[in-house]
C-alpha cells in the first residue's frame, strides 16, 4: 500500500516537473522565434525605407509596386506597412504613399478585418485605415459608427477625422443625434474629431446647428467652434444662442465670443453684459472671461461686482479679466481690497501676483501721475501685508531703477514695522 502511494506521488511529481520543463522550453523557443522575427523586421525596415525614399524622390515608386507585393502574414508585409506609415508623416510623400497602401493591398486587407467579431482586431483595422488616410474606406468606416461599443465609436471618429474628407465629416454629423447620448467618451471623441477638421468644417457645422434644436448637439457644435478661429459667421451663430434657455449652450456661445477678433469682426458686446448676472455660475464665468478677452472697457464696473461672487471660480476669473485693463481697473481692485472679506482680498492678490498686473503696479511707483502712484502703492502695500510679496522681492533682485527700488524697500519696511 505504501509502495503504491509512493509510486503515485513520484508519478505526480514527475509529471509536474515535465510540465514545468515543457513550459520553460516553450518560453525559450518563443523568445528565440520572436527575437529572430524582430531582427528580420529590423533588416526589412532598413532596406525598404532606403528603397522607398529613393523611389519617392525619383517619382518612380508607383512604377515599381509589383516589387513590394507580399503575403499579409509575412514579415515583409508588416515591415513595408511600418515604413510607409512613417513616410506618411512627410507632406512631400503623402499622396504617393496613400496610393501605395491601396495598390499593395493594405486597404483591402484591413477593410476585411472590419468584419471581424473580435473588437480589438476591428478597432486596430479602423485605426490603420485612418492612418493610411484611405478615402475609399470612408463608407465602410461610417458603418462602424452604428455599433453600440463606445471604444469602437471613439476609434472610428478619430480615423474619420484623420481622413478629413467631406464624406467623413458628413458621416460624423449624420450620426451625432445617436452618438452624443451614448457616453461622455463618445462626446469627447466626437468634439475632438470635429475640431481636427479645422476651418473647412465651420460652414457645415453652422448649417447643421441651425437645423437641430437638440441642446446636446448645439452644445457640441459650439464647443467645436470655440476651438476654431472665429469669423463673422461663427460670431453671428454664437450671438444667436447667448440667450438660449439651456445654460450650457449660453456658456459655450460666450466661450466662442471670447475668441472673436474685434478688430476684424464687429458685434454688439453690450449683449454679453446681462450674462454677468446669470443665475448659473459657469455662464457668469464664461461671460467675464469673454469680456476680459475682448477688452471691453465698459464692462469693468460690472466685472468688479463679480470679485465678490458666491463662486470662487467666477471670482478668480473676474480678477484675471480685470488685470487685462491695466490702470483702468486699479480703482476696482482698491475698492475690494478695502473690504473685510479676507478670502476675497487674498484671491485678488493671488491673481494680481500671477499676472503682469503686479509688474505694472511696481512700474507705477515711478509714475509722474500722483494718483496712479498712490493707488498702486496702496495695492502693493495690501498685498505685502497679506504675504504676497514675491513680485516686490523679485524686482529688488533685478532692479535697475533705484527710485522704484527705494519705494519698495520703504514699503517692505513699513510692513515689517506694522
- Domain termination residue (choose one: 238, 267, 296): 267
R_g of the chain, CA atoms, integer Å = 32
DSSP H or E run through 1: none
- Any residues with CB less than 8 A from the CB of 367 and at least 6 apart, and which? 373, 376
Which SS3 state, helix, strand or coil, does residue 258 take?
Answer: coil
Helix or strand (DSSP H, E) at 397: helix 390-398
Does 222 map to a domain? yes
pTM of structure: 0.75
381 by Cβ neighbours in 10 Å (0-12 / 13-18 / 19+) ranks as middle
Specify if 128 maps to a domain. no
| CB neighbours of residue 69 within 10 Å | 12
In a domain, 232, yes or no: yes
What's the rounded Cα separation, in Å, for the pair 399 and 362?
11
In a domain, 167, yes or no: yes
Determine the pLDDT at residue 417.
52
If asked whether residues 101 and 197 sit together in one domain, one would say no
**Within 13 Å, how many C-alpha atoms sit on residue 75's CB side?**
15
Q: Which helix (H) or strand (E) holds 353?
A: helix 342-354
Q: Do 113 and 189 fall within a single domain?
A: no
Q: Same structural domain for residues 78 and 168?
A: no
Give yes or no for a contact between 247 and 280, defined as CB atoms under 8 angstroms apart. yes
- pLDDT per residue of the chain (418 residues) written in tens, 0 to 9: 566 766 677 777 777 776 776 776 666 666 655 555 567 778 888 888 999 899 989 889 888 888 888 888 888 898 889 999 999 889 999 999 999 999 999 999 999 999 988 999 999 999 999 999 999 999 999 999 888 888 888 899 899 999 989 999 998 888 888 777 655 666 777 788 888 888 888 899 899 888 888 888 898 899 989 888 778 888 899 999 999 999 999 999 999 998 887 777 777 888 899 999 999 999 999 999 999 988 889 989 999 889 888 898 999 999 999 999 989 999 998 888 888 778 888 888 888 888 888 899 999 988 889 999 999 989 999 888 888 888 888 888 887 788 888 888 888 887 555 4
Q: What is residue 37's predicted lDDT score, i.e. its pLDDT?
A: 59
Residue finishing a domain among 204, 236, 267? 267
Please state, in angstroms and rounded to a whole number, the distance separating the CA atoms of residues 281 and 277: 9
83 and 173 both lie in a single domain: no
343 belongs to a structural domain = no
Shared-domain flag, residues 168 and 100: no
Residues 168 and 240 in one domain: yes
Show the domain range for 228.
Answer: 162-267
How confident is the model at residue 395, as a pLDDT?
A: 87
Instruction: Return the pLDDT at 398.
Output: 82
Residue appearing with cell numbers 481692485: 333
Whether residue 258 lies inside any domain: the answer is: yes
SS3 (DSSP) at 370 = helix
Residues 170 and 256 in one domain: yes
pLDDT of residue 105: 92
Q: What is the count of structural domains for the chain? A: 2
The reply to whether 193 and 248 lie within a common domain is yes
Among 246, 267, 288, give the residue marking a domain's end. 267
DSSP notation for 49-79: HHHHHHHHHHT-GGG-GGGG---TTSHHHHH
Residue 129: inside a domain: no
Phi, psi of 147 (to 5 degrees): -70, 165
> In this structure, are 94 and 186 located in the same domain?
no
Tell whether 288 is covered by a domain: no
pLDDT of residue 18: 67
Amino acid at each position: 500500500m505504501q509502495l503504491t502511494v509512493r509510486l503515485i506521488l513520484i508519478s505526480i511529481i514527475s509529471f509536474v516537473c515535465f510540465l514545468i520543463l515543457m513550459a520553460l522550453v516553450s518560453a525559450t523557443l518563443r523568445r528565440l522565434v520572436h527575437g529572430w522575427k524582430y531582427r528580420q523586421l529590423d533588416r526589412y525596415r532598413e532596406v525598404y525605407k532606403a528603397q522607398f525614399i529613393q523611389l519617392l524622390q525619383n517619382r518612380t515608386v508607383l512604377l515599381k509596386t509589383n516589387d513590394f507585393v507580399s503575403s499579409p502574414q509575412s514579415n515583409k508585409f508588416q515591415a513595408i506597412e511600418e515604413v510607409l506609415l512613417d513616410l506618411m508623416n512627410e507632406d512631400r510623400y503623402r499622396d504617393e504613399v496613400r496610393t501605395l497602401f491601396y495598390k499593395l493591398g493594405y486597404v483591402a486587407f484591413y477593410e476585411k478585418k472590419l468584419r471581424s467579431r473580435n473588437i480589438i482586431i476591428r478597432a486596430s483595422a479602423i485605426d490603420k485605415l485612418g492612418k493610411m488616410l484611405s478615402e475609399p474606406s470612408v463608407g465602410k468606416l461610417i458603418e462602424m459608427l452604428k455599433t453600440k461599443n463606445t471604444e469602437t465609436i471613439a476609434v472610428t471618429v478619430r480615423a474619420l477625422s484623420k481622413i478629413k474628407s467631406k464624406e467623413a465629416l458628413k458621416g460624423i454629423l449624420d450620426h451625432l443625434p445617436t452618438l452624443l447620448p451614448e457616453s461622455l467618451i463618445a462626446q469627447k471623441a466626437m468634439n475632438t474629431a470635429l475640431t481636427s477638421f479645422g476651418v473647412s468644417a465651420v460652414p457645415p457645422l453652422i448649417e447643421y446647428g441651425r437645423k437641430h434644436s437638440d441642446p446636446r448637439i448645439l452644445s457640441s457644435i459650439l464647443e467645436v467652434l470655440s476651438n476654431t478661429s472665429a469669423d463673422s459667421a461663427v460670431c453671428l451663430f454664437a450671438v444667436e444662442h447667448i440667450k438660449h434657455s439651456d445654460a450650457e449652450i449660453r456658456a459655450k456661445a460666450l466661450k466662442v465670443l471670447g475668441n472673436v477678433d474685434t478688430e476684424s469682426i464687429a458685434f454688439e458686446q453690450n449683449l454679453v453684459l446681462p450674462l454677468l448676472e446669470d443665475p448659473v455660475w459657469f455662464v457668469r464665468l464664461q461671460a467675464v472671461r469673454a469680456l476680459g478677452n475682448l477688452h471691453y472697457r465698459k464692462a469693468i464696473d460690472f466685472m468688479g461686482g463679480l470679485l465678490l461672487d458666491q463662486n470662487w471660480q467666477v471670482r478668480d476669473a473676474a480678477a484675471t479679466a480685470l488685470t487685462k485693463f491695466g490702470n483702468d481697473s486699479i480703482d476696482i481692485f482698491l475698492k475690494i481690497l478695502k473690504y473685510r472679506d479676507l478670502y476675497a482680498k487674498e484671491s485678488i492678490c493671488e491673481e494680481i501676483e500671477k499676472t503682469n498686473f503686479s509688474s505694472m503696479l511696481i512700474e507705477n511707483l515711478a509714475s509722474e501721475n500722483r494718483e496712479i502712484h498712490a493707488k498702486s502703492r496702496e495695492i502693493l502695500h495690501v498685498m505685502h501685508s497679506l504675504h504676497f510679496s514675491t513680485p516686490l522681492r523679485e524686482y529688488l533682485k533685478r532692479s535697475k531703477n533705484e527710485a522704484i527700488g527705494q519705494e519698495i524697500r520703504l514699503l517692505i519696511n513699513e510692513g515689517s514695522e506694522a
